[in-house]
Amino acid sequence: MAEQSKIWIDGGVLKQYATDLLVRRNIAPADAAVTVDNLIFADLRGIDTHGVMRLALYLERIDRGLLAAENRVAIVRENDGMVVVDGGNYLGPVAATLAMEKAVAKAKNGVAGLGFVRNNHHYGSCAYYAMMALPHDMIGFSCSNTTPLMAPTGGARRLVGNNPFAFAAPAGKYRPFVLDIALSVVAGGKILLAEKNGQKIPYGWALDKNGQPTDDPRAGFSDGGLLLPIGGHKGYGMAVMVDILAGVLAGSAFGTEVQGLADFASTKPLGTGHCMVALNVEAILGIRAFKDRMDALIEEIKSVPLAEGVERVYVPGEIEFEVHEKRSREGVPVSPKVVAELEALGASVGLPPVEKRSGPV
């Protein structure tokens, strides 16, 4: 949807409204703040699919008894180098944030810190957690498994999630390197949108339920189709690797055990798992030397000759930093449907309509 057709809301106003909404739904204020901070982080960076549009779905899962309404997060194992957190099928960012905070604290006392989360709910944007390491001059990594959306290479049934991961590394005079990707060629939401709009999809996005290439969006997703992994068998292998770290090793659900966020037919908890890593750069190389070397690498990337018709080469994360600056200044463009959902939820707990802007400023 073009930005012109969206409703503009100041990021701080949107954050406060969403937080008030959760608090009035009896979510503990600290937990509401952590959850909404993750959602607004995504909206400000232009990752709208992981922003406040998720809030209505979270609340519907609470209302249906599929998501815990009270904090049951618990540390189940811990030592000097790692922690294992049980998310208690509660709001996902709560346990995930705790795990990454612990990982950073442990890395400060050594070289690396690890955090694992089991039995959790959707945890939002991967980059949020990886980037928690940056203020400490550390490298951060975060990954999560998801409900199966892809088949193993050569298979014809959903078995592997498009399991996302994020990696963040500090630099000196340049912005940090931040890679945040899922492992399917395209998000399922894009295929659903094509189906809604009566459009074909490109071959190479999905297979039908029989494992055959298709340009029919319904056959490629909602009718049991399969998303295709990036890089073919390589993306499939990387997705399994993430499932091993976030599911098998974390002691969480894995493979077909992981439930779908929008699947209300299943009464099982999502069961998602996560793996967090913080690396103490100072202990390994020294932060000044590392940042100088990162700057040199980025400069080398930036100096590459441009292909015809290309104006600029971006470093991963650079576009999102620029969108964040723009939206922090101008406001967040939100679809009218999402605004209507938020305001309907707000009205049900006595909140007035959210304050809006006339457009970007």
Cβ contact 151:160 at 8 Å: yes
Q: What pLDDT band is residue 3 in, cutting at 50, 70 and 90?
A: low
Instruction: For CATH 1.10.1530.10, list the domain ranges present in the chain.
Output: 1-63+331-361
Percent pLDDT > 70 in the chain is: 98
Cβ contact 355:343 at 8 Å: no
CATH 1.10.540.10 matches 1-63+331-361: no
The tens digit of pLDDT for each residue in 132-152 reads: 999 999 999 999 999 999 989
Is the pLDDT score of 126 beyond 80?
Answer: yes
Query: How confident is the model at residue 224, as a pLDDT?
Result: 85
Tokens describing residue 331: 């406001």
Query: How confident is the model at residue 314, as a pLDDT?
Result: 98
Residue identified by tokens 């399991």 is 163
The tens digit of pLDDT for each residue in 243-272 reads: 999 999 999 999 999 999 888 888 999 999
Query: How confident is the model at residue 359, as a pLDDT?
Result: 76
The tens digit of pLDDT for each residue in 154-170 reads: 888 899 999 999 999 99
Backbone φ, ψ for residue 67 (5° rounding)? -135, 130
SS3 66: coil
> Could you give the CA distance from residue 160 to residue 169 in angstroms, rounded to a whole number?
28
Number of helical H runs and strand E runs in the chain: 12, 11
Query: How confident is the model at residue 198, as a pLDDT?
Result: 81
| Domain topology for 71-184+230-317 | Ribosomal Protein S8; Chain: A, domain 1 (3.30.1370)
Is the pLDDT score of 2 beyond 80?
Answer: no
The tens digit of pLDDT for each residue in 320-347 reads: 999 999 999 999 999 898 999 999 999 9
Beta partners for residue 177, in sequence order: 169
Q: What is the mean pLDDT of residues 206-228?
A: 90
The tens digit of pLDDT for each residue in 166-201 reads: 999 999 999 999 999 999 998 777 787 688 678 899
Instruction: For CATH 3.30.1370.60, list the domain ranges present in the chain.
Output: 71-184+230-317
Q: CB-side exposure of 175: number of CA atoms within 13 Å?
A: 15
Beta partners for residue 39, in sequence order: none
Pick the CATH number of 185-228 from 3.10.20.30, 3.30.60.50, 3.90.1150.10, 3.40.50.300: 3.30.60.50
> Could you give the CA distance from residue 131 to residue 209 in angstroms, rounded to a whole number?
37
Q: What pLDDT band is residue 317 in, cutting at 50, 70 and 90?
A: very high
Query: How confident is the model at residue 140, as a pLDDT?
Result: 98
> Could you give the CA distance from residue 96 to residue 99 in angstroms, rounded to a whole number?
5
pTM value is 0.94
The separation between the first and the last C-alpha atoms of the chain, rounded to the nearest angstrom, is 20
Query: Angle formed by the axes of helices 55-63 and 336-348, to 10°?
Result: 40
Query: How confident is the model at residue 270, as a pLDDT?
Result: 96
Residue type, 287: I
The tens digit of pLDDT for each residue in 297-308 reads: 999 999 999 999
**Residue 201: alpha-carbon gap to chain centroid:** 24
Q: Count of residues for the chain?
A: 361
> Could you give the CA distance from residue 41 to residue 300 in angstroms, rounded to a whole number?
29
The tens digit of pLDDT for each residue in 39-82 reads: 999 999 999 888 999 999 999 999 999 999 999 999 999 999 99
Distances (CA, A) of 269 to 188, 253, 298: 21, 10, 42
- How is residue 85 annotated by DSSP? E
Q: Among 2-6, 93-97, 298-302, name the one with the lowest average pLDDT.
A: 2-6
**Residue 112: alpha-carbon gap to chain centroid:** 23
Query: How confident is the model at residue 361, as a pLDDT?
Result: 67
| Average pLDDT value over all residues in the chain | 94
Residue identified by tokens 């463009």 is 333
